[in-house]
Structure 1
Amino acid sequence: MKWRLLILIAYLVGLSIALPASTPDATILVKQQATQLSIDQLNQLARSISVRVLSGETLGSGILVYKQGSVYQVLTNAHVLRSAVPPYQIQTPEGQIHPAKLLKTINFHGNDLGLLQFTSSRKYAVANLGNTSPLKVGDEVFAAGFAFPVETSQITPSSPILPSHKQKENIISPVDRDEFISFVFTAGKFSLMLDKALEGGYRIGYTNEVEQGMSGGPLLNRRGELVGINGLHANPLWDAPDLYQDGSTPSPPLQQKIAQLSWAVPIETFVQLVPRSVIPKSANINRMQPL
C-alpha cells in the first residue's frame, strides 16, 4: 500500500513540474481569443461610439471618447472642423442633435485632431482607448464613419455605401434610413506603422476603404479598442501625404505605398497631448506607452 502511495506522490510531483512551462501560454492565448469580438459586435460597437459632426450640414465624423456626468467629449480631425465655421453640432447615434463647442485651449501641435464637447442627459457609450504597439502587419482593423451624401443616381450595386458580399477585404453596412448618408463600417488589414509621423500626425496605414465624410471616425482593433482616428483615404485626388512632420520627404517607393493606403492618427498621440484637466488619467491611458 505504501509503495502505491509513493508512486502516486511521485507522479503528481512530476506533473506539477511539467505543467507550468506550457499552461500559462495556453491560458493567455485563450484569454486573448476570448476578448476578440465578432464582426457584428464590432459593427454595433462602432455605431454606438460614432457621431456626425455638423455645422448646418454634415462635416465629418467623430468619436465619443469621454463622459463626465452629462458632459461628453468628441474626438475628430482638425480638418473636419476647418471645413466650416461654428457653431458646431453633434448628431448622436439615435439621431438627436446637440449643440457643441470646440475646446480651443488644447494645443495638438499640428496633429490633425480636434475636440468638441456637448451636454446631454442621455447615456451614450464611449470608446475604450487601445494601444497601437501590439498591432502586427496583417492584423485586422475596422474603420467607421459617416459617408457624405450622394445622389440617388450614384447608388449602384458597386457603390461603397451599399452592402457588398463579394468583397473579402471590406465589410460595409447598409445605408441609413435617410438613404443618402450612410454609416460605413469596413474591415481591412493593418499594413504599415511609419517610424515618424506624416504631416498631421498620421502614422497608421491600413487597407480599409475610407470614404469622404469618414474623417474623424474610429479605427478599431479586433478587441473593439480605439487605436486610431481616420483622416486620410487611399489614392487621394489632391493633397496626398508626401511630407513628414519634420519637413523631410519619404523615399519614392515609400511615397507610392503611402498613397495606396488609408491613414489614421494613433490614439496615443491624442492621449499624450490632451490635458488631464480635460480628460483625467484613466486605466486605459495609464497603460499606454509613448510612441
Structure 2
Amino acid sequence: MRNLSILNAALIGTSIVLIQPHITIAAISAVDINKIATAITVKIIDAENPTNSGSGVIIKQTGNTYTVLTALHVVKKGGVINTKTQTLTTPDGKSHQLKNIQQLKNKDIPGFDLATAEFSSNQQYTVAKIGNSDNAVSTTTVYVAGFPARTGTLNDSDLFLNTGIVNANGRAQREGYNLFYSNDTLRGMSGGAVLNDSGELVAIHGRVDEQGGNEKSQAKVLTGGGRFIRHCGN
C-alpha cells in the first residue's frame, strides 16, 4: 500500500493537492497532543441555529486561504448546504465566513459523510499533520477533539479532548465510517480531529451510534471516517 496521505485521493477530487509521504513519528505526551488539537480544531456554527454546532480541522493553507475538513452532516442541514449562514471560529477566537463548501463523494458509498470548506485570513494558523490511519489498529491510543454543542449545562464550551482506544479499523460501514473507538464524545464534536499518539490526524470524528443490549446497558460505538477517505473522487 502506498504511504501517501489519507487525504490524497480525496482532495484531488476537489482540486486540492495534498500529497504527503508518511513518516513514523514517536509518541508524544498528552499535554502536547492537547496543544496540537487546540491549534488545528475549529468550531463551525450555523447562524440560523447556533446550538446546532460542529467541529472541523484545518488541513491546508494556500496563501490566505485555509481548507477545513469536517463531517458532511455538520455543514449540510436538511439536505442543503447553506454557505451564507455558516461561520467558523479559529483557535484565536476570531470568526470567519465559510465558503466553497464541498461534499466529498465516493462512488461506492452513498452519503459519504465528509466535506471540505474554506475560509480566508491573513493570520497564521497551524495545519494538521496527516498520519496513516491504517496504523490505527485495535488497542492503539487515539484522541478525539471537538467543541461540544450548547446545552443547559454547557454554554460556548472550550475544546474537549478525550482519550480512548481503537476497537476496530476495517471495512467501511454506513456513510463510509470504518474506524471505531472507545472515546467518550458529545454532540457538537462531530467533524473534529481524531489524532494518534504522535499528534497526527488519522480520521474525522463522525457520529455516536447507540446499539442496545438490554434495558440496563447500552454499548456506545463511535465512528470516524478513516482510511477510506483516500477513495473519494475515484
The residue that corresponds to 1:261 in the other structure is 221
Match among 169, 189, 198 for residue 214 of structure 1: 189
SS of corresponding position for 1:235? strand
Q: Structure 1's 180 and 68: CA in aligned 2 closer, same or farther, altered over 3 A?
A: closer
Aligned CA distance change for structure 1 residues 40 and 86 (closer, same or farther; 3 Å): same
Separation in structure 1 between the aligned mates of residue 163 and residue 62 of structure 2, nearest angstrom: 31
Distance 2:55 2:34 in 1: 15
Residue aligning to 1:59 = 53
Over the aligned positions, Cα root-mean-square deviation in angstroms equals 2.6
Q: Which residue of 2 aligns with 1:185?
A: 161
Q: Which has the larger strand fraction?
A: 2
Runs of 4+ in 1 over 6 A off after TM superposition: none
Q: What amino acid is aligned across from residue 33 of structure 2 in structure 1? A: L
Partners of 1:102 and 1:59 lie apart in 2 by 18
Deviation sequence 1:125-176 (CA, Å, 0-9, x none): 011111122223211100000001122xx36xxxxxxxxxxxxxxxxxxxxx
Contact 1:52–1:91, Cα closer than 8 Å, also in 2:
yes
Query: What is the deviation of 1:260?
Result: 2.7
- Cα drift, residue 265 of structure 1: 0.4
The 1:236–1:52 alpha-carbon spacing in structure 2 relative to 1, beyond 3 Å, is farther
Q: How far 1:188 sits from its partner (Å)?
A: 0.5
Query: Corresponding residue for 2:62?
Result: 68
Higher relative contact order (CA 8 A, sep 6+): 2
Query: Number of residues paired by the alignment?
Result: 199
Contact kept? 2:207, 2:223, Cα under 8 Å: yes
Paired amino acid for 2:96: H
Larger radius of gyration: 1
Q: What is the rounded CA distance, in whole Å, between the counterparts of 2:180 and 2:37 in structure 1?
A: 19
TM-score (normalizing by structure 2): 0.76
Q: Give per-residue Cα distances to partners, 1:104-133, cap 9 Å, x unaligned.
A: 475344310011011110000011111122
Provide the residue aligned with 1:137 in structure 2.
138
Residue 224 (1) aligns with residue 194 (2): no
Do 2:83 and 2:101's aligned partners in 1 also have CA atoms closer than 8 Å?
no
Q: How far is the alpha carbon of 1:274 from its aligned partner?
A: 5.8
CA apart distance, 1:185: 0.3
| Pair 1:146–1:126, CA change in 2 (3 A) | same
CA contact (8 A) 1:59 1:81 kept: no
TM-score, normalized by length of structure 1?
A: 0.62
Counting helix residues as a fraction of each chain, which structure ranks higher?
1
Task: Please tell me whether residue 35 in structure 1 is matched to residue 29 in structure 2.
Answer: no
Matches within 5 A, 1:46-195: 46-56=37-47, 57=50, 59-83=53-77, 85-87=82-84, 88-104=86-102, 106-109=104-107, 110-151=111-152, 154=153, 180-194=156-170
The answer to whether the 8 Å contact 1:193/1:205 transfers is yes
- The SS at the match of 2:117 is strand
Percent of residue pairs identical:
27
1:159 is matched with none
CA distance in 2, matches of 1:274, 1:42: 31
**Relative to structure 1, is the Cα distance of residues 105 and 45 closer, same or farther in structure 2, using a 3 angstrom cutoff?**
closer
